[in-house]
Amino acid sequence: MAYTVPKLTDYSAGALERASAELLSALGKEAAVVKNEEEWRIFRDRWMARKNGILTQINDVWLKGAPKEAKRVTGQSVNLVKAQVEEKVDGVKARLQIPHFPTTNLGSEISESEFELEAFSKAGLVDITLPGVHREIGAEHPVIRTTNEIVSVFQKLGYSVAEGPVVETDYYNFEALNFPPNHPARDTQDTLFIAGQQSKAARERLLLRTHTSPVQIRTMEKMRPPLRIVIPGTVHRNDPPDASHSPMFHQVEGLAVDTNITFGDLKGTLDHAMKALFGSSVKTHFRPSFFPFTEPSAEMYVSCFICGGSGKRGAEPCRPCKQTGWIEILGCGMVDPNVFEFVKDNGYDPKKVSGFAFGMGADRIALLKYGVDDIQLFFQGDVRFLQQWG
C-alpha cells in the first residue's frame, strides 16, 4: 500500500522520530523503483508538488496540527524530512542522468523560457503562431541629444561632468553666487519655492534651482583647483509658458579655474566650442552684461548660422536672428572674487586663482539647430514630433 501521511496524536520526540522514519523508509522504497524521466517526474511531484505533495501535507498535518509546546520539535523534524526528500529527488534525477531542461528532438537542450512557451502552447494557453508585440527602439530626445553634443565638445577639451540637485537651497542658488538677500538681481531669476519652509533660516530654504550655477559652488567645495567642469541639468523659473519660454528648461554650465586664467581663455574656449557645435564658419562676439557671480560679465552671440549673418533669407527677413545677423547663445564672465570667498578654504584664494564661467540654454540651442519654432513641442511628448529624431 502506498504511503500516506498519518495524523499525529502523540507529539513526543520519540513519536516524531518514528513517524519520520516511516516516511523516509517509504521514500527510499519508492525512489529505488523509479526507472525513467517520466516516472521521476511523477515521483518528484508526489513528494514535492507545492499543491498537496507529501512535504506540503506534513507541513499542514504535522506542523500546523501540533500543540503550541510541540511546535519547535515538530518544526525541526519536518525540516529534516524536507531536506532528505529534496536530496532523494535530486539523487534519483542524477542517477537517471535527467538533464535540467527537456531535450528537443534535435537532442540539444532548450532554454527554460522556450520550455515554458512550449508547455503553455500545448495547454492551449498561448498561440505561438500569432505575431509578437513590436516595440520601437526609442529615439534620443532632441534636447538631450543637444545637451550631450555640447557636453562632449567640452569633454574633448579636458572638462569633466559635474551634476547637482534640482531642488536647491537659497544658499547655493543665490547667496554663495553673490546674490545677497533682497538683492534686486534675484528678481531676474524668479523661481518656485518649496512650501512650508518659513521656520528655516533663509539660506536653508529650498527652491527649484533657477540655473546650473549652484553646482559651481558645490563642486568647488569638493574639488580643489585647477578645475574644469561642464554641468548639464534641468532648471526652473517662474515664467509662463509660450513659444520661447518654459517653466522647466535645460542648461549646460561651464567652469574653469586655475592660476592666470584670463578673459582671452574664455573667448578662445567658447569660440572653439561654437565652431564645433554650429560649423567652422560661425563667428562669435561678446557684449557687456551683468551677472552677480561674474565680473566682468558678457553675453556671447554667434553669427546667424541660418542666414549666414546677412539677416535675410532671400527676399524674406531672417526670423531666428530677428534680422540682426547675430543670435544670443549664452551668458559668461570671469568668476567674481566674491564667489571664490565662499570656497576660499578649499584652495580658491581669489588672490591666487582666477577662472571663467558660462551658461547656455540647451533647449534654445536645440530650437535653433533643428529649426523648431515652439519650445513647448519639446515637452508635450507628442510621438509624431519626437519620432523625427528616431
- Tell me which residues touch ligand PHE (CB under 6 A): 211, 213, 253, 291, 294, 331-333, 357-359
Query: How near is the Cβ of 113 to ligand PHE at its closest, in Å?
Result: 51
Cβ–Cβ under 8 Å, residues 387 and 381: no
Query: How near is the Cβ of 227 to ligand PHE at its closest, in Å?
Result: 14
Which residue, 164 or 309, is less far from ligand PHE as judged by CB? 164
Query: How near is the Cβ of 278 to ligand PHE at its closest, in Å?
Result: 19
Cα–Cα dist 167/164, whole Å: 9
The continuous run of DSSP H or E covering 385 comes out as helix 383-386
Cα–Cα dist 6/9, whole Å: 9
Query: How near is the Cβ of 359 to ligand PHE at its closest, in Å?
Result: 3
Cβ–Cβ under 8 Å, residues 330 and 300: yes
Query: How near is the Cβ of 330 to ligand PHE at its closest, in Å?
Result: 7
Cβ–Cβ under 8 Å, residues 277 and 329: no
Per DSSP, the three-state class of 200 is: coil
Which residue, 278 or 291, is less far from ligand PHE as judged by CB? 291
Q: Which residue has the cell 519650445?
A: 375
Instruction: Compute how many other C-beta atoms are within 10 angstroms of the C-beta atom of residue 294.
Output: 25
What type of residue sits at position 157?
Answer: L
Which residue, 110 or 185, is less far from ligand PHE as judged by CB? 185
Which residue, 8 or 332, is less far from ligand PHE as judged by CB? 332
Nearest to 210 by CA among 195, 189, 194: 189
Query: How near is the Cβ of 357 to ligand PHE at its closest, in Å?
Result: 4
Minimal CB distance residue for ligand PHE = 359
Query: How near is the Cβ of 201 to ligand PHE at its closest, in Å?
Result: 24
Query: How near is the Cβ of 333 to ligand PHE at its closest, in Å?
Result: 5
Which residue, 164 or 331, is less far from ligand PHE as judged by CB? 331
What are the grid coordinates assigned to 255, written together? Answer: 567652469
Which residue, 16 or 332, is less far from ligand PHE as judged by CB? 332
Identify the bridge partners of residue 341 per DSSP, sorted by sequence position. none
What are the grid coordinates assigned to 288, written together? Answer: 557687456
Which residue, 37 or 341, is less far from ligand PHE as judged by CB? 341
Distances (CA, A) of 4 to 22, 58, 66, 329: 10, 10, 18, 83
Which residue, 309 or 331, is less far from ligand PHE as judged by CB? 331
Cα–Cα dist 168/204, whole Å: 9
Cα–Cα dist 320/255, whole Å: 28
Cβ–Cβ under 8 Å, residues 235 and 249: yes
